[in-house]
Amino acid sequence: MSILFSINEGFKGFFKARLATTLSVSSITLTIFLTGMFVIFTINLQSWLGFLREKIEIELFIEVGSTDQEINELKNKISSLDEVKEIEYVSEEEAAKRFEKEFGQNVFDVLEFNPFPSSIIIHLNKGYQTASAIGKLKNRLELFANVDEVFYKKPLLEKIDQYVQIAYILGALIGIIIIIIAIGLIFNTIRLTIYARKDMIHIMRLVGATEGFIRKPFLVEGMIQGFLGGSLASLAIYYSIKLVQIYIYPYVISNNLVFLGLVLFSMIIGLFSAYLSVGKYIRII
């Protein structure tokens, strides 16, 4: 019963302070929209970088003159490492063939001997595809017997890591600023509704409503604002993605959980801001 009253009064307050509410909801929509677009951008960046990382492999050159048994032992040792997803052995002959395939010329036409050492190409498990993990693995691999040289595309990997870090920091900063703006907006709207309903609060106190009961409708109102702002923003993001997919870049990905997350997040912000506002202003009414 009292819950119904709070929800009912929350909606009433929402419609009463129409101008403040409209301003507040549209600003929340805008801020959540920006947050959401940034989340979608990050998801796409992650997926694209993940795709790039998949391509990163370590090439380990085996010392010339190693015996088949030594090479097999090395292969087994490498395969058993946690970081390693799979390995691919490239014999000296195979390396020469690959050269011919890539450059269209038989190496023996140029040289009298095969200059390519045999090698092992190592594909890595997810989570070990970062610059620091690969760097550590390289150091360990170099200590193995019969290893001549270990090679990977270090600069590319470092660039990827750097971009990811920048994206995270930027995301966190934008997120914090947006949250503060949204909290400020809802805080202020609830303050206005509290003042607008001053008489009602007085009467509630007079007839014996508990403080918790008096506060609830305002909390509900904050949540409604958050819900509406979050939902409108989610809709806008959904259609923006569709438009981008149709007219600009068809490979943009999104995740339905993002929309749910945005609405929930927005509601929590609404509740929290209303809680702050009520805590500050209802006592002095």
Partner 1 sequence: MIQFFNVDLHYGDKQILHHITFHITKGDFVYIIGPTGVGKSSILKLIYFEEFPDAGTIIVDQYSSAKIKPRDIPYVRRKVGVVFQDFKLLPDRNVFENVAFALRVTGVSSAVIKKKVLLVLNEVGLGHRRNHYPRELSGGEQQRVAIARALVNEPTIVLADEPTGNLDPKSAVEILELLESINKRGTAVLMATHNYSLIKQFPHQTLSLLEGELREE
Shortest Cβ 40–partner 1 spacing (Å): 43
Is residue 104 close enough to count as binding partner 1 by CB under 8 A? Answer: no
- Name the residue nearer to partner 1 (CB basis): 112 or 199: 199
Is residue 246 close enough to count as binding partner 1 by CB under 8 A? Answer: no
Is residue 5 close enough to count as binding partner 1 by CB under 8 A? Answer: yes
Is residue 208 close enough to count as binding partner 1 by CB under 8 A? Answer: yes
d(CA 106, CA 112): 11
- Name the residue nearer to partner 1 (CB basis): 14 or 227: 14
Is residue 279 close enough to count as binding partner 1 by CB under 8 A? Answer: no
- Name the residue nearer to partner 1 (CB basis): 143 or 206: 206
Shortest Cβ 198–partner 1 spacing (Å): 11
d(CA 285, CA 61): 78
Is residue 7 close enough to count as binding partner 1 by CB under 8 A? Answer: no
User: Which of the ranges 40-48, 182-190, 208-216, 233-241 carries the binding residues for partner 1, by CB under 8 A?
Assistant: 208-216
Site size for partner 1, by CB under 8 A?
A: 17
Is residue 248 close enough to count as binding partner 1 by CB under 8 A? Answer: no
Is residue 209 close enough to count as binding partner 1 by CB under 8 A? Answer: yes
Is residue 207 close enough to count as binding partner 1 by CB under 8 A? Answer: yes
Shortest Cβ 179–partner 1 spacing (Å): 33
Is residue 22 close enough to count as binding partner 1 by CB under 8 A? Answer: no
Q: How far is CA 64 from its chain centroid?
A: 45
Provide the binding-site residues for partner 1, judged by CB under 8 A. Answer: 1-2, 5, 199-200, 202-211, 213-214
